[in-house]
A and B are shown apart, each in its own frame.
With several copies, the nearest count.
Chain A
Amino acid sequence: MREAEKQLSGVRRVVCVGSGKGGVGKSLVSATAALLLSQRSRRVGLLDLDFYGPSAHLILGAWDLMPTEDRGVVPPEIHGVRLMSIAPYIGEGPSALRGSDATHAMLELLAITRWGELDLLLVDMPPGTGDEILDVVKFIPAAEWLVVSTPSKLSIQTVRRLLLLLRETGSKIMGAIENMAEGEACVEEFCRAEGVQFLGSVPRDPKVERAIGRPELLLRTEFARRLEAIVRKLK
């Protein structure tokens, strides 16, 4: 029951932004990429699957946008991005979900959300390689993966574990983005070693923090400009 397929049948492409590592910019990259694609007239959805630290609504400034009820749940649109998240349902409250609860929550969101016709659905993944990752692999086998890493050894080692998992499960890996780049080309080198396409680097940009919650401002940061060059490659 609770099949994802029906609600995703009008979605041409599902792209999961994952890492394994936390705090590498998965949320910032996925939300900004969604904004950039929407600017380029793509019909874009953004599904936030971080049930413990949902962030997409904060980045897009959509704190109080509720999905509307109409033969399902219709995601609110913000700057052209259709956004679905656990946030409207849990507010600012605690999120004491065990793994099986996360599985249920994800299947529920997939079952009720009417995405409609989309060129691209971006999925903002939580850190780790636990239930949410395993469930996406299981329930959305066609999902493609966009992997984010910082240049840190601590990030790269964890990203490697995710890549191994995705490979073993036959998931399609589009490539990897280096975020908060810092001079040395660590992630590029890592990609070469792992046989993964390196999609490009985005620098640490101190202006990003002020732009959280303000999409127009975010789109004008150096961060967004650099990400645009990468997003363009994805068509």
Chain B
Amino acid sequence: MHEWALAESVVLTVLRVAEERNAARVLRVRIKLGELQQVEEEIFSTALRELSKNTPAEDAEFSLAREPAVLKCNRCSHEWKVERDKLKPEEAELIHFLPEAAHTYLRCPRCGSPDFAIESGRGVWIESVELG
């Protein structure tokens, strides 16, 4: 349910963009949901609709696309995908709230290092905003 706060961030940003560009309406917002954070799509969508009511984004189409979580080891340069179903549920839950907790629970499968970069699929990201 902290998806509401994530949705709030998105809506705020979209509205700021609309304002900055003097747009009356937001037509479409393309959002990426990183696999690492495992945002619940349904709650997130509901929140986006609720939160954009009575704003220029009211009738916007919010399209959501999942982005795989790719990590890259800073030590041995190995790159790997996080397999969702291989995470322990408790750990997945903590990473859901704070993706950086990945550095506490995940390790480079090649060299065991906790020192890796989250190359993609970290959190929620706005890919594009179409204004009307």
Contact = CB atoms under 8 A, between A and B. Distances in A.
Contacts of A109: 98
Nearest to A5: B12
B55 interface: no
A182 interface: no
A112 B2 contact: yes
Given A97-B100, A112-B97, A71 B4 contact: yes
Given A72-B2, A111-B9, A114-B5, A97 B103 contact: yes
Interface string B1-31: 1101110111011000000000000000000
A208 interface: no
B114 A96 contact: yes
- Place the interface of chain B in its size category: 20 to 34
B105 to A, nearest CB: 7
A108 B123 contact: yes
A168 B116 CA distance: 13
A93 interface: yes
A40 interface: no
A163 to B, nearest CB: 13
Interface string B60-96: 0000000000000011000000000000000000100
Interface stretch (A22-30, A84-92, A186-194, A227-235): A84-92
Nearest to B100: A105
B94 A89 contact: yes
B128 interface: no
A118 interface: no
Given A1-B10, A3-B12, A138-B74, A91 B100 contact: no
Interface string A70-109: 1111000000000000101111011111101110110011
B104 interface: yes
Interface string A22-57: 000000000000000000000000000001000000
Given A108-B99, A138-B74, A138-B115, A1 B9 contact: yes
A88 B96 CA distance: 13
A93 B100 contact: no
Nearest to B73: A138
B115 to A, nearest CB: 4
A65 interface: no
B104 A91 contact: yes
Given A96-B115, A169-B113, A6 B2 contact: no
Closest A-B pairs by Cβ, 3 of them: A72-B5, A71-B4, A96-B114
22 contacts: A1-B124, A67-B97, A71-B47, A72-B8, A89-B94, A89-B101, A90-B94, A90-B101, A91-B104, A96-B113, A98-B74, A101-B100, A104-B99, A104-B118, A104-B123, A105-B98, A108-B98, A108-B100, A112-B6, A134-B74, A137-B75, A169-B115
